[in-house]
Structure 1
């Protein structure tokens, strides 16, 4: 059971209701994962959900590459709910099941191309070391371009916040779903 329940709509302040409405009327159309926890603090929830919407729906990276990065971050943090939520999205975006299995198992993934490989390697190193060496930075820049690299860093930062939130508040998996990691 999660350590903190999302606020009930009937108990929300006007500010909380405003953020909840923005979430529900946006591309997510549901208050799940960290959003429910963040709603306790609408000043945090509003900009965080906007950043998340950009990272998921407005990034210059194709969804397949974003999902590789997100799943890598989820694995580094062992964020079970994030893994559960984004594994299906990654598969739907065309990420190979073998790649996801390898990320989950912390073995070298069989990537189809250099963009997939660099999104994983960069995310893994950035999350683990809290920076990246110059050589990896230059390689990522040459493969993804400036905009792609900036978006990749943003995705990594946002999903580290998501993973920390989910882990600290011990987010529940849906009933009947077993943890994969």
Structure 2
């Protein structure tokens, strides 16, 4: 890890406000993965948000909005997030959102399909549309004319806007997780790099 975890007692007032919004906010209500370690430090991408509280606070608010204040269904959201995790090879996103997806009722076959990009695990047309769109956005950063028309006609433009925002947000987190070498809980080797095998 390139960034030691901030401890609650080390935080200034601005950092503490961001910390509290994460540790005591909507994410903390029944989270399927651990947000705070045994010493009170924030897990995953949230620790880095304390480096610059004005920006980190805005970023966590955006994350809260894309998770809890959109018309995207839980299934659609987790399909998209786990697609980003696969494309970006983000171990922490995969760890966290496989737990969220499983808690939301995804089957082991579906979770495995998202891990390996196996579209056959999603025969339902609504799921498949979100998977195809998320893959295009995460891999190419754009939609073809046909893909855009399909998204517009089946999801509507407001939901497409939500989906592109969600993809962009989780790509941002994947970049920060990679740069700061944030590992999943229990997956640090002696050099401090992620070693957990998700294959």
User: What TM-score results when the alignment is normalised by the length of structure 1?
Assistant: 0.92
Q: Which residue of 1 aligns with 2:69?
A: 58
Q: 1:104 aligns with which of 84, 105, 115?
A: 115
Question: Which residue pairs with 1:144 in the alignment?
Answer: 155
| Aligned counterpart, 2:8 | 9
CA shift digits 1:116-157 (9 cap, x unpaired): 111111111111111111110111122212222111111101
SS of the residue corresponding to residue 28 of structure 1 reads: helix
Paired residues of 1:68 and 1:95 also in contact (CA < 8 A): no
Greater relative contact order structure (CA < 8 Å, 6+ sep): 1
Alignment counterpart, residue 157 of structure 1, candidates 165, 168, 173: 168
Structure 2 distance, partners of 1:92, 1:8, is 29
| TM-score between the two structures when normalised by the length of structure 2 | 0.84
Aligned equivalents of 2:67, 2:156: Cα separation in 1 = 19
Gaps of 5+ in 2: 29-34, 36-41, 188-194
> How far apart, CA to CA, are the structure 2 residues paired with 1:97 and 1:139?
28
Unaligned runs of 5+ in 1: none
- Is the Cα contact below 8 Å between 1:98 and 1:109 reproduced in 2? no
User: Which one has the bigger helix percentage?
Assistant: 1
- Shift >6 Å, 4+ stretches: none
What is the root-mean-square deviation of aligned Cα atoms in Å? 1.7
| Alignment partners' CA distance in 2, 1:63 and 1:7 | 31
Indicate which of 43, 67, 72 corresponds to 1:32.
43
Query: CA offset at residue 108 of structure 1?
Result: 2.6
* Corresponding residue to 2:184 among 170, 173, 177: 173
Asked if 1:21 is matched to 2:20, the reply is yes
Q: Distance in 2 between matches of 1:123 and 1:100?
A: 15
1:51-72 C-alpha deviation (Å, 9 max, x unpaired) = 1011111111111110000000
Query: How far off its partner does 1:110 sit?
Result: 2.2
1:76-131 per-position Cα deviation (integer Å, ceiling 9, x unaligned): 00000110000011122233322221221233332142221111111111111111
Q: Which moved more, 1:64-73 or 1:38-47?
A: 38-47
